[in-house]
Every structure is written in C-alpha cells, then in structure tokens.
Amino acid sequence: MMDVLKIMELLPHRYPFLLVDKVLELEPMKKIIAIKNVTFNEHFFQGHFPGAPVMPGVLIIEAMAQAGGVLLLKSAEGKIDIKNKLIFFAAIDKVKFRNPVKPGDQLRLEVNVLRAGTKLSQFGGKAYVDDKLSAEAIMTAMLVDKEKGGNA
C-alpha cells in the first residue's frame, strides 16, 4: 500500500533511524500493518551483540511508534497541515519483550488506535516475526507544531 518513499513523505526520520520499510494495510484512525526488514547491515548489530546479533528492544518499540505515526498522519491528511507537524512520545506503558529479533527477520508491526485526540493519541502496538510475538506496548503520542520546536 505504501513504499518507503511514501513513508518518508510523512515521517521526518531518515537512515539509520527510519524503521518502517513498507505499509501493507492502513485503515484511517483504526489500524496499520507495516513491515521492517531487519538486515545484518543495520548499524546497531555492530555492538548489540557481537557474535549474537539481536535488535535492541527500544528500536522495536520505536518501529511500532513510527508505524503509529504514519497511521496518525495519514489519517489527518486533508484535515490539518501535516507537513508542519511532528509526533513525539508522551508515554510508553505495558512494554513486554517476548522473543528476540535477529538479522534476516521481517518484523510485522501491528498498531491499533486506542484513543484519538487533537493533541494526544494512544496506540496499542505488537511486533511479530512470523507468528511469534516479539514485543508489545501501549504508546501515547503528542502531535506538535514544527515551528514551535516540538513544544506543545
């Protein structure tokens, strides 16, 4: 449904911090299913961990948050000027890590809107490799103006 070029039109993230490669499904203000292809060339594998590479858990959560950002911005398209907005974490709750993510894995990011507001929105996210749950979290995001430097 969306390739990385379309994703980069919405998110300000760039290599090495853009963690969403493709959107498979998007239902505005409801859910998104996105993909992060995890390769051995990822910069974090150099030190996490040599000889036993594992994707850092915080980056799995960040990937889910970025997918949620795509969902939020795509849902607001045409209603507000999304080119002048940024999305920041406001809270991350109920984080659980279940299974490691390794080079060669394809991380499937499933994010659902739990509550949508004009400034704060809350998402439930789950990350899977194949059918195994890797991580889950409840994320609260804040929509802010770029001109204000991220201040609400």
Active centre residues (catalytic)? 48
From 63, 85, 88, 90, select the one nearest 74 (Cα to Cα): 85
- Which of 41-56 are b and which e, b meaning 16 or more Cβ less than 10 Å from the residue's Cβ? ebeebeeeeeeebebe
- How far apart are alpha carbons 152 and 148 in whole angstroms? 7
Helix locations, 11-152, DSSP H: 57-76
Burial, 16: exposed, middle or buried (Cβ in 10 Å; 0-12, 13-18, 19+)?
A: exposed
3-state helix, strand, coil in the chain (%, to 5): 25, 40, 35
